[in-house]
Amino acid sequence: MTQTLLETTDLTVRFGGHVAVDRVTCSFRAGELTAIVGPNGAGKTTYFNLISGQIGATAGRVTLKGQDITRLSVSRRCRLGLGRAFQLTNLFPELSVFENVRLVMQTRMGRGLNLLSTAESHADVSHAALAVLERVRLDRLRDQKVSELSHGNQRKLEVAMLIALEPDVYMFDEPTAGMSVDEAPVVLDLITELKQDRSRTILLVEHKMDVIRTLADRIIVLHNGALVADGPPAEVMASDVVQEAYMGKEIEDV
Ligand SMILES: Nc1ncnc2c1ncn2[C@@H]1O[C@H](COP(=O)(O)OP(=O)(O)OP(=O)(O)O)[C@@H](O)[C@H]1O
């Protein structure tokens, strides 16, 4: 049987009187890409925030590889194998693209976060970091300061940092948002490539139907914070509950 890597059980968060995520019980198995869809304000990003630890749950549980991580910090969850595309505010904007990836790689490879170590002192780490930059086609810009990158390249760097972490669970929140039509395919190809590794699971919050159609093995639908549908893409998209949830046509091209 395929291994369950991540599970949420009755996961709930309340903001004042508003229940943004409402008793969501769902498991995510190795070798599967799950698209999380729903109208604006449905709770998708909040669900992601609860899983990655950016916000605390009011009730319920998050389990990673059998371990209850509900009360753990973002960084503890990250070390246990939960990887969410980095917010660039967490990076070092004045360091180069290469240095940022190298630092993540260095930390993952157990060398600690040492800003003063040189690329030469960790040749294997540097080599691996460069390989990741080649995969996202940022190798040309390796010496550019992060603060000087275009929006599209910043998004690619976020993906590079995530790949460098090699998590068991990849979490992407609209990875191609704001990218040009030339840039988006690089990121989508990378996610397709990541899917080939059947030992991991990928969660994707996405509005673009063409992206969902290309990538998703499974779709879950949130509506008013609750899980209202879960299954293979064709089946879920044809279901009455989804048709109703999308009467507002927030999802592109439905
Ligand atoms: N920190 C917060 N405090 C109060 N309300 C919040 C907070 N974060 C989210 N919400 C509310 O929770 C609901 C779910 O928001 P969320 O951003 O998760 O939706 P979403 O499905 O990701 O929407 P979108 O597709 O527009 O990004 C919204 O009504 C939002 O206003």
- Taking only the tens place, the pLDDT of each residue in 52-108 is 999 999 999 999 999 999 999 998 998 899 998 765 556 788 999 999 999 888 877
Nearest Cα to 99, choosing from 171, 166, 164, 46?
A: 164
Half-sphere exposure of 195 (CA within 13 A, CB side): 18
Mean pLDDT of the 29-54 span: 95
Give CA–CA dist 231/213, Å, rounded.
13
Neighbour order of strands in the sheet with 169-173: 82-84, 169-173, 201-205, 32-37, 218-223, 226-231
Average pLDDT value over all residues in the chain: 87
Give the CA angle between residues 22, 24, 25 to the nearest 5°.
155
Report the nearest-CA residue for atom 4 of ligand 1.
Answer: 15
Kindly indicate whether the ipTM for this predicted assembly is greater than 0.85, answering yes or no.
Answer: yes
Q: What is the structure's pLDDT at 60?
A: 98
Cα–Cα dist 193/175, whole Å: 15
Report the alpha-carbon distance of residue 182 to residue 98 in Å, rounded. 22
CA 250 to ligand 1 center in whole angstroms:
15
Contact present, 49 and 216 (Cβ < 8 Å)? no
CATH of domain 1-81+169-180+200-254: 3.40.50.300
Tens-digit pLDDT profile for residues 194-253: 999 899 999 999 988 889 988 999 999 999 999 999 999 999 988 887 777 665 544 444
**Distance in angstroms (rounded) separating the CA atoms of residues 13 and 23:** 8
Contact status, residue 65 vs residue 48, Cβ threshold 8 Å: no
Q: Please state the domain extents for the chain.
A: 1-81+169-180+200-254, 87-166
Query: For residue 184, what pLDDT band results from cuts at 50, 70 and 90?
Result: confident
* Ligand 1: lining residues by beta carbon, under 6 Å: 15, 18, 20, 38, 40-46
Which atom belonging to ligand 1 lies closest to the Cα atom of 20? 12
Q: Among residues 35, 34, 37, 68, which one has the least CA distance to residue 51? A: 68
pLDDT attached to residue 253: 45
Among 21, 44, 223, 254, say which to mutate for ligand 1: greatest number of ligand atoms within 8 Å of CB.
44
Task: Assess whether pLDDT exceeds 80 at residue 136.
Answer: yes
Q: CA-CA distances (angstroms) from residue 46 to 22, 95, 177, 196?
A: 11, 30, 18, 28
CA 96/CA 123 separation, integer angstroms = 17
H, E, C per residue of 17-71:
CEEEEEEEEEEEECCEEEEEECCCCCCHHHHHHHHHCCCCCCEEEEEECCEECCC
Q: What is the pLDDT of residue 179?
A: 83
Residue nearest to atom 5 of ligand 1 (CA): 15
Shortest-distance Cα residue to atom 9 of ligand 1: 46
Which residue is closest in CA terms to ligand 1's atom 24?
40
Name the residue of 46, 171, 222 whose CB sits within 8 Å of the most ligand 1 atoms, as the mutation to test its pocket: 46
Tell me: pLDDT of 150 over 50. Answer: yes
pTM: 0.88
Nearest to 159 by CA among 143, 181, 140, 179: 179
Q: How far is the CA of 20 from the centre of ligand 1 (A)?
A: 6
